[in-house]
Chains A and B, each alone.
Chain A
């Protein structure tokens, strides 16, 4: 399943793997490989850590002012029906 010299195919494959988006047979093949391959295991672990870290960067919700404006528009839209 390995790579070109720059790791492109391996990288996109493991990206699909950590996102759970590979076809089942391919995902099983990757799982099997990971049991034998420390460096691919490190790659997968680092992708999972990165995904986890990025979830903590979540954007703030809309401001109270923006929400208030939307509610006004929602009510106006209802009244206008």
Chain B
């Protein structure tokens, strides 16, 4: 393994500029890290750091404290690499270290959130029987074929992208709105949607990091996405401006 010294300790590393080495997968990365490969280490930091900040923020109040927690966790990772046995993925192991460090920090500092608060959020959000999507957007009784049956969409989600090109990117203003909207989600939905859809973590990684069952994780993900989509639709005024779906068009013609 080529050990690369970084040219400057202040050089910027981003996930796109310095991807985690992957020729031989996690085993190769682990070998590089154990050999003290700074480039491999910074690549891993660049890939995981922001998601780990999100995990730490479940337990501590401020971003600055979360940043400190994650930095300390990275040191714990370096010091503990020789003990890592590969029983879980490296990401799961690191996220457990972060969660433990954050809980310890939360206990040490009385002004931080009690560490049961995330579990309470999960329980509260799962127990919430309010619909993820407004009930009036579903049909209530069987009055026809297909989507006339009860429980189908009466008012399906619309394409909220601006412009007509398929695959068009969201404009900057909409992206900013999405960031703000994400921040308003209930805590458990927010962390699950963020880790899955913003940070790109796999379902199993999120379940392991947060101690969630796969079913509960999927429910939280679904509810969080449904809320975000509803906020985006309202923000972009969809009910006023979108073109009808094929089914709506057929229905209008009949």
For B158, give its contact among A8, A38, A46, A56 (CB under 8 Å). A46
Question: Which of A8, A16, A39, A64 has the largest number of chain B CB atoms within 10 A?
Answer: A39
Q: Is the CB of B138 within 8 A of A71?
A: no
For B36, give its contact among A5, A15, A37, A74 (CB under 8 Å). A74
Q: Is the CB of B12 within 8 A of A5?
A: no
Name the prevailing secondary structure of the B interface residues.
Answer: helix
Chain B residues with a Cβ closer than 8 Å to the other chain, count: 72
Q: Is the CB of A46 within 8 A of B157?
A: yes
Q: Is B91 part of the binding interface, using a Cβ–Cβ cutoff of 8 Å?
A: no
Q: How far is the CB of B251 from chain A (nearest CB, A)?
A: 10
Question: Which of A16, A36, A42 has the largest number of chain B CB atoms within 10 A?
Answer: A42
Give Cα distance in the complex from A77 to B81, angstroms: 12
By beta carbon, the residue of chain A nearest B246 is A38
Across-interface contacts of A72 in B (CB, < 8 A) = 9
Q: Is B25 part of the binding interface, using a Cβ–Cβ cutoff of 8 Å?
A: no
Across-interface contacts of B119 in A (CB, < 8 A) = none
Name the prevailing secondary structure of the A interface residues.
Answer: helix
Q: Is the CB of B152 within 8 A of A3?
A: yes
Q: How far is the CB of A2 from chain B (nearest CB, A)?
A: 5
Q: Is B45 part of the binding interface, using a Cβ–Cβ cutoff of 8 Å?
A: yes
Q: How far is the CB of A22 from chain B (nearest CB, A)?
A: 10
Q: Is the CB of B135 within 8 A of A73?
A: no
Q: Is A26 part of the binding interface, using a Cβ–Cβ cutoff of 8 Å?
A: no
Q: Is the CB of B131 within 8 A of A58?
A: no
Across-interface contacts of B245 in A (CB, < 8 A) = 38-39, 42
Q: Which A47-81 residues have C-beta < 8 A from chain B?
A: 47, 49-51, 53-62, 64-75, 77-78
Q: Is the CB of B179 within 8 A of A6?
A: no
Q: Is the CB of A12 within 8 A of B222?
A: yes
Give Cα distance in the complex from A16 to B216, angstroms: 12
Q: A-facing mask of B14-53, CB < 8 A → 1, else 0?
A: 1100000000000000000000101001100110011101
For A67, give its contact among B13, B159, B182 (CB under 8 Å). B13
Q: Is A32 part of the binding interface, using a Cβ–Cβ cutoff of 8 Å?
A: no
Q: Is the CB of B219 within 8 A of A57?
A: no
Interface residues of A (CB under 8 A from B): 2-8, 10-12, 15-16, 19, 21, 36-40, 42-43, 45-47, 49-51, 53-62, 64-75, 77-78
